[in-house]
Structure 1
Amino acid sequence: MPTHPFHQVDVFSAVPFKGNPLAVIAEADGLDDAAMQAIANWTNLSETTFLSRAQNPGADYRVRIFTPQRELPFAGHPTLGSAHVWLALGGRPKGEYVVQECGAGLVRIKRDSDRLAFAAPPLRRSGHVDAELTSRIAAALGLQPSSMRAVEWIDNGPGWIGVLLDSRQDLLNIKFNVLALSQQPVGVVAPWDPAKDGDDAQYEVRAFTWSGVEDPVTGSLNASLAQWLIGAGIAPKQYVASQGTVLGRAGRVHVAQDGETIWVGGDVAPVVKGTISV
């Protein structure tokens, strides 16, 4: 039975077990869609990625991203984790940046010391969320609509809607009701209060996926939140977001705007290395 390099890494944390885990299978050119989906279902992580030779001549490698149920065109922590593994396996970029090919197109990734950061992909949908859906979101979050400072479409692939709150404590107190809102990813963000929370981060984020499960640390959501918040003048051009607090994690997402590009970065901690038989 053929074997493939297998790595499991923890993304958005320099400390293992405090970020968001990702399984990465390399040399996956010979695996078909059914095999990839079966492996992702078996690992049972939020995402599993498969590295293969690039089809686009402008890319360094190709990645396919699977949840236990379906394939995604783009996701943030799989992008950083996959790039980390590709580099660890001896990958060398053709140019200044690592260029990843995925379902959403080409994504640039830069190395900043030991940290990696990806260029936020363009939003596929932005703007107003209708009143009926806004009411359903408020009910699912257990909030009064008036407590939601803003609600916007911020979809860069997974279908995110962003909700801005003024209170980090209100955000941490959310008990998500999946029965009130199914198959609609929602990300919630609120500022830290330096007097109460310290200065380790400036924003707190929570992500409720299309299945209603809370994601520990979410690159795609933080990318789209940054485009919204920085673009609207709500957030500064550089900040750190904390995510995973209520799940016992300590994810840190480093956001910085450089010119027209917003970079979303984080540490990656290696955890498991071996092979998988398929």
Structure 2
Amino acid sequence: MRRYAYETVDVFTETRFGGNQLAVFTDARGLSDAEMQSLAAEMNYSETTFVLPPADPANTARVRIFTRTHEMPFAGHPNVGTAFVLARHGRDSGGVLRFEEIAGLVTVKVASDATGEITGATIAAPQPLSTGVELPAEAIAACAGLKPEQVLTGRHKPVRASVGVFFVLAEVASEALARATPDLTAFRALRDATPGLEGRLSLFLYVRDGQSIRARMFAPISGTWEDPATGSASATLAALLLKLDGGDSASFTLTQGVEMGRPSLLKLTAKRGDDGIRATVGGSCVPVFRGEALL
């Protein structure tokens, strides 16, 4: 029988049982792709990570990220949580970790309190902002159980965008956010009717008040009815807002997960660079469980 240690953390929160849950398998050597996928489905969190030796010894680790149904090229809260766990094991170098992932190299800076205890992390998204297909407000409204006029298009139309993994970003009226309810049939219809979505549809709805943002994320096709904290989508939104607003840099705070009873707080930055707009996302973490998987 093979034993694989794992730890779980709540990410983007200072309070246990808030934020977004994550399971981290700290040494995944010997696990097959199929076993990783099965373990992620068994954990039943939005994502589970598997830590492997890096291809380049200058980096900290190779990190693979699985949802309940498929592998992800990059994601926000899995990187923050994995960095938190590994840094608590002393695997950072001067407060920095570098993760090799499908989307590219992810650099993570660890946060500590006055006593030196690790409290969280901030990640730099591996790619500059890219945007793709725009989608009709009516179709997005149908996916979220809203009226078409509650999907706002004054600043931008609903748009597929990425800093490492794609989401559809849509601004909605303030009163609509809490009422949003995903409609799986509408999600599938929009996905199937839109080749530019490449077979996947994760919808990030937001309300903006200056530098403060409230958001919700739905991905029912891939098994996540709602996500309490979506770092990669939040970083993408920060980059998109800087593009729309102009300027060289911007910072935001984003609240998510309130409607789920798992409030999350994400700190975002975006900055223009030579290759486009880059973004970061960070926050606090709280350890929850430790255990072993028996295979």
Fold in common (TM above 0.5): yes
The answer to whether the Cα contact below 8 Å between 2:252 and 2:267 also exists between their aligned partners in 1 is: yes
Q: What are structure 2's unaligned runs of at least 5 residues?
A: 113-118, 189-199
Displacement of 1:234 in angstroms is: 8.0
Structure 1 counterpart of 2:265 = 252
1:1-278 aligned at under 5 Å gives the runs: 1-93=1-93, 97-113=96-112, 114-122=119-127, 125-131=130-136, 134-149=137-152, 150=156, 151-165=158-172, 167-182=173-188, 183-192=200-209, 202-209=212-219, 210-211=221-222, 213-233=225-245, 237-257=250-270, 260=273, 261-278=278-295
The answer to whether the Cα contact below 8 Å between 1:140 and 1:180 also exists between their aligned partners in 2 is: yes
Instruction: Tell which deviates more after alignment, 146-155 or 249-258.
Output: 146-155
Letter in 2 for 1:116: A
- 2: CA distance between counterparts of 1:140 and 1:173? 12
The answer to whether the Cα contact below 8 Å between 2:131 and 2:161 also exists between their aligned partners in 1 is: yes
Displacement of 1:259 in angstroms is: 6.1
Which digits, 9 at most, give the CA deviation of each residue in 1:121-151, with x for residues without a partner?
32574055144xx432121123333432231
Structure 2 counterpart of 1:197 = none
Q: Secondary structure at the match of 2:78?
A: helix
Displacement of 1:5 in angstroms is: 2.2
- 1: CA distance between counterparts of 2:46 and 2:5? 20
Q: How many residues align?
A: 267
- 2: CA distance between counterparts of 1:256 and 1:215? 21
Give the RMSD, CA atoms, in angstroms.
Answer: 2.3
Which digits, 9 at most, give the CA deviation of each residue in 1:153-181, with x for residues without a partner?
2134443110012x332111112212111
- Counterparts in 2 of 1:124 and 1:56: CA distance versus 1, 3 Å: farther
Letter in 2 for 1:154: A
- 2: CA distance between counterparts of 1:121 and 1:208? 23
Structure 2 counterpart of 1:196 = none
Displacement of 1:225 in angstroms is: 0.8
Q: TM-score, normalised by structure 2?
A: 0.83
The answer to whether the Cα contact below 8 Å between 2:109 and 2:123 also exists between their aligned partners in 1 is: yes
Q: TM-score, normalised by structure 1?
A: 0.88
Give percent identity, aligned residues only.
Answer: 33
- 2: CA distance between counterparts of 1:40 and 1:144? 35
Displacement of 1:204 in angstroms is: 0.4
Which digits, 9 at most, give the CA deviation of each residue in 1:177-223, with x for residues without a partner?
12111241110110249xxxxxxx81101001143611111111101
Q: Secondary structure at the match of 2:245?
A: coil
Letter in 1 for 2:176: D
- Counterparts in 2 of 1:123 and 1:259: CA distance versus 1, 3 Å: closer
- 2: CA distance between counterparts of 1:51 and 1:145? 43
